[in-house]
Amino acid sequence: MRLEGSQLQDAYLEDRCDVLVLGSGTAGAIAAMEAARAGKKVILLEEGKYFAPEVKRNFKIAESVRSLYRNQGGMVAFPWGDTPPVVITLGCGAGGSSALTGGVCFRIPDKVHRHWAKELGLTELALDKLLPFYHKVEELFSIRETPQELRSKGVFKFEQGAQRLGITCKPVKRNMTDCRGCSRCNFICPHGAKQSVDIVCLPKAEECGAKLYFEFRATRLIAKNGKVQAVAGEILDSQKKRKGKFTIHADTFVLAMGTVHTAHFLLKNRACNNSGLVGKGLTLHPAIRIYGLFDEVLNSHQGALQSVYVDDFMDDGITLIAIHVPPNIISVTLPGIGPGHREFVRLSKQMAAFGAFYHDQPSGRVWRGLGREPFVTYRLSSQAKAGLVKACQVIGQIYFAAGARQILLPIWSKTVISSPDELKSLTPETVKGKWFEISSYHPLGTARMGLDRHHSVVNQFGQTWDYPNLWISDGATLPTSIGVNSQEPIMALALRNTLHMLEVGNNRQ
């Protein structure tokens, strides 16, 4: 059963269930599906809208951005120190951010698993404990290597240059079946190839009896006698304005509103914050994109959005990954104004693009916002800045080795680089952090897992220290950033946490 706030007549709704899940993204959809499969009465609440897969698959890019991205893609982390504003992209709709991914899937690197298990003592997060869950989600979401024939001409150029420099490109795994290589994954796959949670999990949850409530924004946690009793909030109209109120009572509550909004919900409710850590410890994997301009036409959007990656520089905290979005999106990211910009747009069919992100230490924070949205801050560390400069150097050298005429960097005043020597002159000393154009797709860590209530918000299975019947299942719980794209780790942890929760109930472990 599905309800949509904007279609409801009543101004007040009260309901009860066994398991109430907040958020229909990667973690929430998995939690709702597994709990419903286990025979629990489940309600899943989602602030964003529901569009049937066959409807949103026909969306124009602008419609996807308007309807499925939080704030139309315009959430920004405010800079602290030598840092630019960082655009944080988040999904808000059925499937949350999962519906918008490039489909890239990585397991957490062994090194990170070892750090968590050995140095932080989080033995339940050791690779051997997580392995069965990786296997399950890889099967459930059809995660497999992207075939070579889906690499675009731009990716072939990059591979040529990398080979000349002795750098290895590896095929990316993605959650896809029958990908046609049209590079539109971030705006809903028009061919239904991407196996996101709105396609795989929400229909299964519904089949198993879960009630899915869209345009329901959770705002209040109601607790008594050491247990959460209910969640209350706003029923929204089609303009996302409040048109009514709801209260839902449950035995068990799962927060899966994403790293930024789960923390904000807890902060607004002054809940689970004995450690003082809620909202702190935010990592963003600051990400950049670099273009190589070649003499010949490449039309690099003809191919999978993301098909290869490079992990040779992971010890420096840098992951390089192919990314090429459709031409109309590229055009807004190109430098210049007026005729200069028009010229770059004209040349965009001769460009190849590659992205990079940095495995950052916690240096961001989610604060209570005055309105509905949180206030987010982020400081780009000197190590992160140096990492991003190095990423520009490496990708630039690769493109020059492949015969590029120019390199376009996401750095103010150093945007167009016309020779390898000019590239070499870029160093952490000559580039300011605030000159970078940075975005983030993998916010993590604002309600982290740990061994006790003084140093963490939840235990190793996502159960909050404060309320035994309140669990957190999303990216907020990751104890550190991971250096790879975050969806498969969140899927595996959400599956493991939910099965554990169903097994032990709300008993304190």
Ligand X SMILES: Cc1cc2nc3c(=O)[nH]c(=O)nc-3n(C[C@H](O)[C@H](O)[C@H](O)COP(=O)(O)OP(=O)(O)OC[C@H]3O[C@@H](n4cnc5c(N)ncnc54)[C@H](O)[C@@H]3O)c2cc1C
Q: Which residues bind ligand X (CB under 6 A)?
A: 22-28, 45-48, 89-92, 96-98, 100-105, 186, 217-218, 256-259, 261, 265, 441-442, 474-475, 485-488, 490
d(CA 506, CA 280): 26
Residue 88: its H or E element: strand 86-88
- Cβ proximity to ligand SF4: between 176 and 231 the closer is 176
Q: State in angstroms the smallest separation of the CB of 185 from ligand X.
A: 7
> Which of the ranges 190-198, 251-259, 281-289, 389-397 carries the binding residues for ligand SF4, by CB under 6 A?
190-198
- Cβ proximity to ligand SF4: between 189 and 398 the closer is 189
- Cβ proximity to ligand SF4: between 85 and 192 the closer is 192
| Residue ranges of E strands in 147-301 | 170-171, 173-175, 211-214, 216-224, 227-236, 242-255, 287-293
Residue 469 binds: one of ligand X, ligand SF4, none (C-beta under 5 to 8 A by kind): none
Q: State in angstroms the smallest separation of the CB of 162 from ligand SF4.
A: 22
323 is a contact residue toward ligand SF4 (CB under 6 A): no
d(CA 80, CA 96): 28
> Which of the ranges 189-197, 367-375, 392-400, 477-485 carries the binding residues for ligand SF4, by CB under 6 A?
189-197
- Cβ proximity to ligand X: between 218 and 293 the closer is 218
Candidate list 91, 103, 286, 445; residue touching ligand SF4; CB under 6 A: 103
Q: State in angstroms the smallest separation of the CB of 429 from ligand X.
A: 33
- Cβ proximity to ligand X: between 105 and 356 the closer is 105
Residue 256 binds: one of ligand SF4, ligand X, none (C-beta under 5 to 8 A by kind): ligand X
- Cβ proximity to ligand SF4: between 181 and 468 the closer is 181
Q: Are 211 and 43 in contact (CB under 8 A)?
A: yes
For the four alpha carbons of 447, 25, 484 and 144, in that order, the dihedral sign comes to positive
Residue 152 binds: one of ligand SF4, ligand X, none (C-beta under 5 to 8 A by kind): none
144 is a contact residue toward ligand SF4 (CB under 6 A): no
Q: State in angstroms the smallest separation of the CB of 221 from ligand X.
A: 11
Name the residue number minimizing CB distance to ligand X.
Answer: 25
d(CA 378, CA 312): 27
For residue 215, the 8-state DSSP code is: S
d(CA 64, CA 95): 13
Candidate list 137, 155, 179, 266; residue touching ligand SF4; CB under 6 A: 179
- Cβ proximity to ligand X: between 93 and 396 the closer is 93
The three-state secondary structure class of 194 is: strand
- Cβ proximity to ligand SF4: between 114 and 180 the closer is 180
Is residue 341 classed exposed, middle or buried when 0-12, 13-18 and 19+ CB atoms within 10 A define those classes?
middle
Alpha helices in 4-126 (DSSP H): 26-37, 53-56, 61-68, 110-114
d(CA 85, CA 88): 9
d(CA 262, CA 22): 9
- Cβ proximity to ligand X: between 141 and 156 the closer is 141
Q: State in angstroms the smallest separation of the CB of 66 from ligand X.
A: 14
Residue 191 binds: one of ligand SF4, ligand X, none (C-beta under 5 to 8 A by kind): ligand SF4
| Long-range residue pairs from 366-371, CB within 8 A, at least 24 positions apart, any chain | 366/259, 366/260, 366/263, 366/264, 366/267, 366/279, 366/282, 366/446, 367/267, 367/279, 368/264, 368/267, 368/268, 368/279, 369/264
DSSP 306-364: S-EEE-TTGGGTEEEEE----HHHHHHHS--SHHHHHHHHHHGGGEEEEEEEE-PPS-E
Length of the chain, in residues = 509
194 is a contact residue toward ligand SF4 (CB under 6 A): yes
283 is a contact residue toward ligand SF4 (CB under 6 A): no
Q: State in angstroms the smallest separation of the CB of 52 from ligand SF4.
A: 17
Q: Are 274 and 457 in contact (CB under 8 A)?
A: no
95 is a contact residue toward ligand SF4 (CB under 6 A): no
Residue 193 binds: one of ligand SF4, ligand X, none (C-beta under 5 to 8 A by kind): ligand SF4
Candidate list 41, 115, 153, 191; residue touching ligand SF4; CB under 6 A: 191
Residue type at 97 in one-letter notation: S
- Cβ proximity to ligand SF4: between 191 and 243 the closer is 191
> Which of the ranges 16-24, 179-187, 435-443, 491-499 carries the binding residues for ligand SF4, by CB under 6 A?
179-187
Which residues make up the interface to ligand SF4 (CB under 6 A)?
Answer: 103, 176, 179-185, 189, 191, 193-194, 304-305
